[in-house]
């Protein structure tokens, strides 16, 4: 079943439901009709008895129904027999055996009610009857009014056949709209399948258009959102490769050019020592770029893995990073305001890398000071890093985390991308804003 088309599955389910409901209704109506007509038979018998006792008897019950012999009824399916409670039978029926009549008389003797319903099997046929006591001055008579089960069967079978015919017609006529409904529901899914196949082949130029807001429409909108993100990711990767090739090509060209000059006996920086220092500087830049790229790839991998973190004091990490970096720009004044102890849960090496990248940016732009403070609440730890450098261009603030995005003094443009990945891994957040003194970085870390 699951290997068939969705339209066929929907159609099969609808037809199965209709067929199941029809079968249940058939059995239910069969039982209901039997009970309904049984009650109707007793009601007809009692109505016939009432008419007969009111208008059918002559002055004396012993003379029969209106003075004539035999049983009489205004309804041909209901028959009446008048019996004395004691003694012989005045109206002897032809289809009721004597044993049944005797049994009826015994029932009448034990009957306290004036009228009561009974049913018995007589000669293999079910008989519904009502015994009604008629009191005269001389004695008590029993009016036996009965109807055979064939009457009920005729009524129920006739109505059941009509009902069954209607159900069959409904089932047959419902197949056409069920087929239409199945195709209507499966058609947009078939269209979405074609779009997904195109996307899997990296052919994502055609937009996914679904003019509906139900679950299928939501699926279509999700696929369209995925398509747009894949296009954006593809463009980002192409830009990334272009920037990588450009940024790696520059130091390689410098190193090769200076090396070739040395081979030719030419020293572009005046002497061999200064020329080699330039080569070493370019090699260091190249090494840092490659390490950052590898580290960014590592973080992307960790985003998809289950992580196990330890606990560490973030203030100790801050002190260690500051001690390593403060000598790169000796004229800066460092203001560090830390609490006694601030424990975080995470990867200490990653936080060290994050602070290193942030402080490298701060050092590059700061003019006279860098201010670092740590404060804690019950829910978050806030790390604030400020400098008095120039403000960041407003158009740059929204794209600082994108790889190779550079400001006026920017270099490789990948440091803040690494910061963003580490923050994501630790469910933390960072805001960068311009304030009165310069630029402020605020890192908010949830406390576990």
Clarify whether residues 122 and 39 are in a common domain: yes
Q: According to the model, what pLDDT value does residue 67 have? A: 38
Clarify whether residues 440 and 313 are in a common domain: yes
Query: How much is the average pLDDT of 24-49?
Result: 78
Q: According to the model, what pLDDT value does residue 392 have? A: 82
Quick one: pLDDT band at residue 385, thresholds 50, 70, 90? very high
Q: What's the total number of domains in the chain?
A: 3
Q: Tell me which of 410 and 352 has the higher pLDDT.
A: 352
What angle is formed at CA 106 by the lines to CA 101 and CA 111, rounded to 5 degrees? 120
Listed in sequence order, the DSSP H helices in 304-405 are 314-325, 348-365, 394-397
User: Mean pLDDT lowest for which of 17-21, 131-135, 150-154, 237-241?
Assistant: 150-154
Instruction: Indicate the angle between helix axes 149-200 and 215-263, nearest 10 degrees.
Output: 20
Residues 6+ away with beta carbon under 8 Å from 383: 314, 318, 372, 373, 374, 442, 443, 445
Quick one: pLDDT band at residue 66, thresholds 50, 70, 90? very low
Strands, E assignment, 7-166: 79-84, 115-122, 125-135, 140-148
pLDDT greater than 80 at residue 68: no
Q: Please check whether residue 208 is in contact with residue 227, taking contact to mean a CB–CB distance below 8 angstroms.
A: yes
Q: According to the model, what pLDDT value does residue 82 have? A: 81
Strand partners, 135: 140
pTM for the model stands at: 0.49
Q: pLDDT tens digit string along 102-125?
A: 888 888 888 888 888 888 888 877
Q: Three-state SS for 315?
A: helix
Give me 28's structure tokens: 């239910």
Clarify whether residues 105 and 22 are in a common domain: yes
Secondary structure letter of residue 347 according to DSSP = -
Spell 33-64 as b/e; 16+ CB within 10 A means b: beeebbeebbebbbebbeebbeebbeeebeeb
Clarify whether residues 14 and 136 are in a common domain: yes
Quick one: pLDDT band at residue 95, thresholds 50, 70, 90? low
Query: How much is the average pLDDT of 333-354?
Result: 86
pLDDT greater than 80 at residue 244: no
Quick one: pLDDT band at residue 399, thresholds 50, 70, 90? low
Clarify whether residues 317 and 297 are in a common domain: no
In total, the chain counts a number of residues equal to 448
Residues 55 and 53: their CA atoms lie apart, in Å, by: 6
Clarify whether residues 148 and 241 are in a common domain: no
User: Mean pLDDT lowest for which of 67-81, 222-236, 428-442?
Assistant: 67-81
Q: Residue 332: which CATH number?
A: 3.30.565.10
Query: How much is the average pLDDT of 44-59?
Result: 75
Clarify whether residues 402 and 278 are in a common domain: no
- Percent of the chain topping pLDDT 70: 81
- Percent of the chain topping pLDDT 90: 6
In a domain, 28, yes or no: yes
**Terminal Cα-to-Cα distance of the chain (whole angstroms):** 49
Q: Residue 258: which CATH number?
A: 1.10.287.130
Q: According to the model, what pLDDT value does residue 92 have? A: 44
Q: Three-state SS for 67?
A: coil
Q: According to the model, what pLDDT value does residue 370 have? A: 92
| Residue that finishes a domain, picked among 251, 269, 301 | 301
Q: According to the model, what pLDDT value does residue 90 have? A: 45
Which structural domain range is residue 243 located in? 215-301
Clarify whether residues 415 and 276 are in a common domain: no
| Residue that finishes a domain, picked among 264, 281, 301 | 301
pLDDT greater than 80 at residue 136: no
Listed in sequence order, the DSSP H helices in 366-439 are 394-397, 415-425
Give me 321's structure tokens: 């990073």
User: Mean pLDDT lowest for which of 68-82, 120-134, 434-448?
Assistant: 68-82
In a domain, 144, yes or no: yes
Q: pLDDT tens digit string along 165-219?
A: 877 777 777 777 777 777 777 777 788 888 888 888 888 778 888 777 777 788 8
Query: How much is the average pLDDT of 125-130?
Result: 85
User: Phi-psi category of 446—alpha, beta or left, where left has phi over 0 and alpha has psi -120 to 50?
Assistant: beta
Secondary structure letter of residue 327 according to DSSP = G
């Amino acid at each position: 079943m699951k290997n068939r088309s969705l339209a066929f599955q929907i159609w099969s389910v609808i037809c199965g439901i209709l067929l199941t409901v029809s079968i249940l209704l058939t059995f239910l109506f069969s039982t209901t009709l039997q009970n309904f007509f049984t009650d109707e038979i007793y009601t007809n018998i009692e109505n016939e008895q009432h008419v007969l006792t009111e208008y059918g008897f002559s002055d004396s019950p012993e003379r029969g129904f209106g003075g004539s012999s035999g049983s009489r009824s205004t309804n041909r399916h209901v028959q009446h027999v008048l019996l004395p409670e004691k003694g012989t039978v005045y109206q002897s029926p032809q289809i009721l055996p004597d044993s049944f009549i005797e049994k009826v008389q015994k029932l009448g003797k034990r009957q306290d009610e004036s009228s009561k319903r009974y049913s018995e099997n007589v000669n293999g046929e079910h008989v519904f009857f009502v015994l009604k006591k008629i009191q005269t001055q001389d004695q008590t008579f029993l009016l036996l009014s009965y109807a055979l089960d064939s009457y009920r069967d005729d009524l129920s079978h006739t109505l059941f056949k009509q009902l069954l015919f209607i159900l069959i017609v409904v089932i047959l006529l419902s197949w056409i709209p069920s087929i239409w409904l199945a195709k209507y529901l499966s058609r947009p899914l078939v269209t979405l399948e074609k779009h997904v196949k195109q996307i899997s082949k990296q052919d994502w130029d055609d937009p996914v258009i679904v003019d509906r807001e139900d679950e299928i429409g939501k699926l279509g909108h999700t696929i369209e959102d995925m398509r747009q993100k894949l296009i954006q990711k593809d463009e980002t990767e192409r830009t990334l490769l272009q920037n990588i090739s450009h940024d790696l090509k520059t130091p390689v060209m410098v190193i090769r050019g200076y090396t070739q000059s040395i081979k030719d006996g030419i020293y572009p920086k005046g002497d061999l020592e200064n020329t080699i220092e330039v080569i070493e500087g370019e090699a260091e830049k190249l090494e840092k770029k490659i390490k950052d790229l590898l580290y960014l790839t590592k973080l992307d991998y960790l985003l998809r893995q289950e992580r196990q973190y330890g606990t560490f004091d973030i203030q100790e990490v801050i002190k260690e990073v500051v001690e390593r970096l403060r000598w790169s720009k000796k004229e800066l004044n460092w203001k560090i305001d830390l609490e006694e102890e601030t424990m975080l849960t995470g990867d200490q090496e990653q936080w060290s890398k994050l602070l290193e990248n942030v402080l490298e940016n701060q050092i590059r732009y700061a003019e006279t000071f860098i201010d670092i403070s740590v404060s804690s609440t019950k829910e978050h730890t806030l790390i604030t890093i400020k400098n008095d450098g120039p403000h960041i261009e407003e158009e740059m603030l929204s794209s600082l985390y994108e790889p190779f995005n550079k400001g006026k003094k920017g270099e490789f443009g990948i440091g803040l991308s690494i910061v963003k990945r580490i923050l994501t891994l630790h469910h933390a957040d960072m805001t960068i804003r311009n304030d009165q003194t310069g630029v402020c970085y605020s890192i908010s870390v949830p406390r576990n």
